Amino acid sequence: MTAPPDDCLASNEWICGVYLSTRRQILLDAVVQHLQLTFLSVLIGLAVALPLAVLARRWGWAAGPVLAVTTILYTIPSLAMFSLLLPLYGLSATLVVAGLVLYSLTLLVRNILAGLRAVPEETRQAARGLGYGPVRLLLTVELPLALPAAMAGLRIATVSAVSLVTVGAIVGFGGLGNLIYAGMNTYFKAQVLTASVLCVLIAVAADLFLLGVQRLITPWTRAARG
């Protein structure tokens, strides 16, 4: 029996509403996994990058080695990175998160450090004159003023992580990348296009969300532009 002409799944069309309705749960699970992997990797990357940037700012001699190491990590191809981490983490979601954390460091460290270096020295001196210690100076003066540059790095790292998560499909933990990879192997057009579009939407939504957060927590930048 031949398939009806309006059966877009049987005719393997790129745009297929039937695919969306029949694979809704599969798509939802893939999106959730994609978001989880992205969120964890960026969060851990930020937790590692912040102290590295602060130390590089405090000890000038450390800035060169820190930037050099994180830059070298970023240049390693994703397949090679996952292969190098495989003996440590095995075929697991942790492997993907660890790789994405390493990739995020160069973007986060470089931008946080640039933001800290951009804080005017007279501002630091004025805070010290008011009795601010190193910790209070960092938390209430330097980091707030470094936020615009830090948030720019966070936005780039997040969008990059959304993209790189798909490579995790090679170990079975790639979120929407699993669907893209499987769809390409079977030439399942609707699956490839749908998963790819969802990746783009997640990246755009994440960037817009972080941009909104940046505008919310740095109101002085809007005043300066005005």
Q: In percent, how much of the chain has pLDDT > 90?
A: 30
Write down the pLDDT at residue 101. Answer: 93
Q: Using one digit for the tens of pLDDT, what is the confidence trace for 86-134?
A: 888 888 889 999 999 999 998 999 999 888 888 888 888 888 877 777 7
- DSSP states of 181-214: HHHHHHT-HHHHHHHHHHHHHHHHHHHHHHHHHH
* Per-residue confidence (pLDDT) for residue 3, from 0 to 100: 47
pLDDT in tens, 161-218: 999 999 888 888 888 889 898 888 888 878 888 899 999 999 999 999 999 998 888 7
∠ CA 19-158-200, rounded to 5° = 25
Burial 113-131 (b: 16+ CB within 10 A, else e): bbbbeebeeeebeebeeee
- pLDDT for position 64: 85
The Cα 46–Cα 66 span in angstroms is: 15
- Among the residue ranges 38-42, 44-48, 192-196, the one predicted with the least confidence is 192-196
pLDDT value of position 121: 81
* Measured torsion, CA atoms of residues 116, 118, 121, 127, in degrees rounded to the nearest 10: -50
**DSSP H helical ranges for 118-188:** 121-129, 134-137, 143-165, 176-186
Cα–Cα distance list, 60 to 44, 53, 113, 140, 192 (Å): 24, 10, 11, 22, 48
Of 134 and 68, the one with more pLDDT: 68
Q: Tokens for 104, please give them.
A: 């995020």
User: Is residue 144's pLDDT more than 90?
Assistant: no
Q: What is the pTM of this model?
A: 0.85
Q: What is the mean pLDDT of the chain?
A: 85
Amino acid 82: pLDDT:
87
pLDDT band at 36 (very low <50, low <70, confident <90, very high): very high
